[in-house]
Amino acid sequence: MTDGFDLLIRAPRTICGAEERPASIGVRAGSIAAVAPLDQAAAAPNVIELTASEVLLPGLVDSHVHICEPGHADWEGFTTATMAAAAGGITTLVDMPLDSLPSTTSVAALELKRQAASGQTYVDVGFWGGVIPGNESELESLHHAGVLGFKCFLADSGSADFLPVSADEMEAVLRRLRPLSTPLLVHAESAEAAAAIPAAAGRSYANYLASRPRGIENLAICQVIEAARRSAGRAHIVHLSSSDALPMIGSARRDGISLSAETCPHYLILSSEEIADGAIACKASPPVREAANRELLWAGLRAGVLDLVASDHSPATAAMKHTDTGDFGAAWSGISSLQLGLPLIWTAARRRGFSLADVACWMSQRPAELAGLRKKGRIAPGYDADFCIFVPDDPLLVDRAMIRHKHPLTPYDGRTLTGAVRGSILRGELIDPERPRGELLRRDPQ
């Protein structure tokens, strides 16, 4: 191990790839320069010594976050979202292309998004581009302008300027994106199937769940699979909630289709049986389903059919959530959990026999791979020196006062979790709440 590092981290417990082991990490100019045995001699002007109760994880990468600035910064903005991320051990976010004004469906809109973010991000931020009917001519320009990939909906997005595409339009986009080696992220619910089911109204969660049955999701996932098969494009299914789809995804992969899928903390933690009427903090689209479905999603992670876990942080004001009435039909659909993802997943994962290396794979390595961020997501030489210092055995009481998101409404209020983030390091420096130094990312050159 060579001296001349800016920072040396000595950690008796370090997540390196698929294992936990003691290590010394040398950092130079914001990158990991060396990973060596814990007792190997080295020097640096700045040294962080971790204890045996602390684990050094790669900084988490959340590839599914709705930051609503510009236009809807009262829902969520770059300052609050990235501060919440840093508090949760996340060092890189990828922003979804809708819920801001304008949506990120053109290069001009992307530049407005970057201008809004400039100088107020505490973690690194990348951007997905949007696919809507009629903007096909913008896709190559957005790609060359640096978006990390693209996102489309097959059903109503809830945003008037982000209309859904048809299955045929999705296939045409997959074909168009294939030479660019960039993924198309798909919100997979069928607009046609949904149109035949009466919309939910009132406080009953059972009624809301019945209005978004698994079949709506399963049908759309079939459409994604067949579009990816015919186009040979790269498709990714976001926020999968229906465990019915897992065998289909596994079969498609065995056929050689380029397909991946994510799920979210709320589908892995909550269950429909425990959601009270009027508990609109739990409303998501697709909805949280039964406990048996939840356990099959965990089995999908174990089998590798589900690739990663992302927050789908979708914030809203109290008025948008209709906290006064608890009306599931009227309430905004989205769960805010950005800051809590790591302790939520670790609390549930450890009970099922998973390791912190598994969690780091789901929440750091694979999201970085999806977004094409080749220097993020691992503790290895050449990667950015992004780290999360995590205490896996510490209790964490979720309280609205601790939440750094713009709005503290959360379905996890009052829960005691296991595991607490003690610090986050971005490119070799502890994140300072007084100094936003996050960078705006572009897709790494191939």
pLDDT tens track for 190-242: 999 999 999 899 999 999 999 999 999 999 999 999 999 999 999 999 999 99
47 and 111 belong to one structural domain: no
Half-sphere exposure of 388 (CA within 13 A, CB side): 35
The mean per-residue pLDDT over the stretch 269-295 comes to 97
* Arithmetic mean of pLDDT over the chain: 96
Look up residue 176 and give its two tokens: 């168009």
pLDDT tens track for 367-380: 999 999 999 999 99
48 and 94 belong to one structural domain: no
The answer to whether residue 216 sits within a structural domain is: yes
Residue 4 pLDDT: 87
48 and 63 belong to one structural domain: no
Taking alpha carbons only, the member of 170, 261, 155 closest to residue 223 is 170
Quick check: 2 pLDDT over 80?
A: no
The answer to whether residue 358 sits within a structural domain is: yes
Q: What are phi and psi of 143, to 5 degrees?
A: -60, -50
Q: Is 245 helix (H, G, I), strand (E, B) or coil?
A: helix
99 and 124 belong to one structural domain: yes
324 and 180 belong to one structural domain: yes
Quick check: 7 pLDDT over 70?
A: yes
122 and 139 belong to one structural domain: yes
Q: Place 43 in a pLDDT band, splitting at 50, 70 and 90.
A: confident
Tally of domains in the chain: 2
23 and 157 belong to one structural domain: no
228 and 130 belong to one structural domain: yes
Please state the separation of Cα 252 from the chain's center in Å. Answer: 23
Contact yes or no for 66/371 (Cβ under 8 A): no
13 and 133 belong to one structural domain: no
Residue 1 pLDDT: 56
The answer to whether residue 434 sits within a structural domain is: no
Distances (CA, A) of 72 to 114, 116, 226, 378: 15, 11, 36, 33
Quick check: 77 pLDDT over 70?
A: yes
Quick check: 407 pLDDT over 60?
A: yes
Contacts 24+ apart (CB under 8 A), 349-355: 350/392, 350/418, 352/298, 352/302, 354/301, 354/302, 355/20
Residue 3 pLDDT: 73
The answer to whether residue 161 sits within a structural domain is: yes
Please state, in angstroms and rounded to a whole number, the distance separating the CA atoms of residues 376 and 312: 20
The answer to whether residue 385 sits within a structural domain is: no
Quick check: 445 pLDDT over 70?
A: no
Peptide bond into 102 cis (omega under 30): yes
| DSSP line for 75-140 | T--HHHHHHHHHHTTEEEEEE-SSSSSS-S-SHHHHHHHHHHHTT--SSEEEEPEE--TT-GGGHH
The mean per-residue pLDDT over the stretch 293-301 comes to 98
The answer to whether residue 254 sits within a structural domain is: yes
34 and 71 belong to one structural domain: no
151 and 46 belong to one structural domain: no
Quick check: 446 pLDDT over 70?
A: no
Task: Kindly give, in sequence order, each residue whose CB lies less than 8 Å from that of residue 131, ignoring residues fewer than 6 positions away.
Answer: 105, 139, 150, 151, 152, 165, 170, 173, 184
38 and 137 belong to one structural domain: no
The answer to whether residue 389 sits within a structural domain is: no
pLDDT tens track for 345-368: 999 999 999 999 999 999 999 999
Question: Which CATH number goes with the domain that contains 105?
Answer: 3.20.20.140
Quick check: 405 pLDDT over 70?
A: yes
pLDDT tens track for 113-160: 999 999 999 999 999 999 999 999 999 999 999 999 999 999 999 899
| Percent of the chain residues past pLDDT 70, beyond the cut | 99
The answer to whether residue 384 sits within a structural domain is: no
Q: Give the structural domain span for 32.
A: 7-52
**Which helix (H) or strand (E) is 416 found in, with range?**
strand 416-426
Q: What are phi and psi of 22, to 5 degrees?
A: -70, 145
Q: Is 219 helix (H, G, I), strand (E, B) or coil?
A: helix
